[in-house]
């Protein structure tokens, strides 16, 4: 085998694999949305699953609060620190509030928030549903005349759609506040300037953009993570594999959708 044919076969292998991954990903997202929409179509079918929405909101929302607050606080703090030293070079430290606020509200809040929620709650959704499949609990529900799609998938999707925007908003506020603490209290930026520039530079469009991202991410996380669990191979490795896949696919999905939504808003 000569040199160029080695290179060629390597390239063919690389692009072949890339293509296969891409197709596989698209196919999975398609299947996931079909399953998610089927579950969502049961939203208004009796019996009403109110109690299970609350239970899932508890597991997902309340359970992710601490991690969201911690991530939000450190994100805001590091942004203030980095932003301050960059802006100080141009003598425009007063723009710190606007810088911190804009990056958090438009970008970091939704994306980092979504990542933390995927890691904290998404993976556990997939693992939980996967284990229910392995141990035939979903079949048991089915035999007890309870639709697992309505009882297991639906509340989790609804809960992510509701919880993600709420958690992201909390992330935003905590980030802005901790940026204020570092910028104003530690680095001595004028305290009026921080808030005034923040308010002046951030428009409602920026805030809507962040919320739309959060809602879309919530949908996507809910659909992909429930789908991966529901379709996981009924073995121990199957559940492990689909949990990993759920985290990878939804994280990459967040980044791709983030780019698409951002391009629409600019």
Binding of other proteins by 203 (CB under 8 A):
yes
CB of 205 to other proteins, least distance (A): 8
Residue 166, judged by CB atoms within 10 A of its CB (0-12, 13-18, 19+), counts as middle
CB of 88 to other proteins, least distance (A): 18
Binding of other proteins by 219 (CB under 8 A):
no
Binding of other proteins by 7 (CB under 8 A):
no
Using the contact rule CB under 8 A, the part of the chain among 1-9, 119-127, 171-179, 242-250 near other proteins is 171-179
Contact pattern for other proteins over residues 115 through 154, marking x by CB under 8 A:
----------------x---xxx-xxxxxxxxx-------
Residue whose CB is less far from other proteins, 172 or 245: 172
Residue 182: count of CB within 10 angstroms of its CB: 21
Binding of other proteins by 172 (CB under 8 A):
yes
Binding of other proteins by 173 (CB under 8 A):
yes
Figure out which of the listed residues 79, 202, 225, 254 binds other proteins, where binding follows CB under 8 A. 202
Residue whose CB is less far from other proteins, 72 or 253: 72
Q: In Å, what is the CA distance from 29 to each residue of 25, 34, 98, 131, 138?
A: 6, 9, 36, 22, 22
Residue 23: count of CB within 10 angstroms of its CB: 10
Residues that bind other proteins (CB under 8 A): 51, 54-55, 57-58, 61-62, 65, 101, 105, 131, 135-137, 139-147, 162-163, 165-167, 169-170, 172-173, 176, 198-200, 202-204, 206-207, 211
């Amino acid at each position: 085998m000569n040199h160029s044919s080695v290179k060629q076969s390597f390239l063919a292998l690389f692009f072949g694999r890339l293509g296969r991954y891409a197709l596989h990903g698209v196919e999975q997202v398609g299947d996931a949305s079909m399953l998610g929409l089927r579950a969502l179509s049961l939203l208004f079918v009796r019996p009403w699953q109110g109690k299970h929405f609350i239970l899932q909101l508890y597991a997902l929302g309340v359970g992710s609060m601490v991690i969201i607050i911690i991530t939000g606080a450190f994100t805001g703090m590091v942004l203030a620190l980095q932003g301050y030293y960059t802006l100080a070079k141009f003598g425009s430290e007063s723009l710190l509030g606007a810088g911190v606020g804009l990056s958090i509200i438009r970008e970091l809040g939704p994306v980092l928030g979504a990542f933390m929620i995927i890691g904290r709650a998404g993976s556990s959704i997939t693992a939980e549903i996967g284990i229910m499949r392995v141990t035939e609990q979903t079949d048991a529900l089915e035999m007890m005349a309870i639709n697992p799609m309505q009882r297991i998938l639906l509340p989790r999707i609804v809960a992510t759609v509701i919880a993600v925007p709420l958690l992201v908003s909390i992330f935003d506020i905590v980030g802005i506040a901790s940026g204020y603490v570092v910028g104003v209290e530690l680095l001595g930026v004028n305290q009026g300037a921080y808030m005034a520039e923040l308010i002046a530079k951030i428009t409602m469009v920026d805030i809507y953009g962040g919320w739309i991202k959060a809602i879309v991410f919530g949908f996507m996380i809910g659909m992909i993570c429930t789908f991966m669990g529901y379709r996981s191979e009924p073995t121990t490795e199957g559940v492990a594999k689909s949990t990993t896949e759920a985290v990878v696919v939804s994280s990459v999905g967040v980044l791709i959708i983030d780019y698409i939504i951002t391009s629409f808003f600019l």
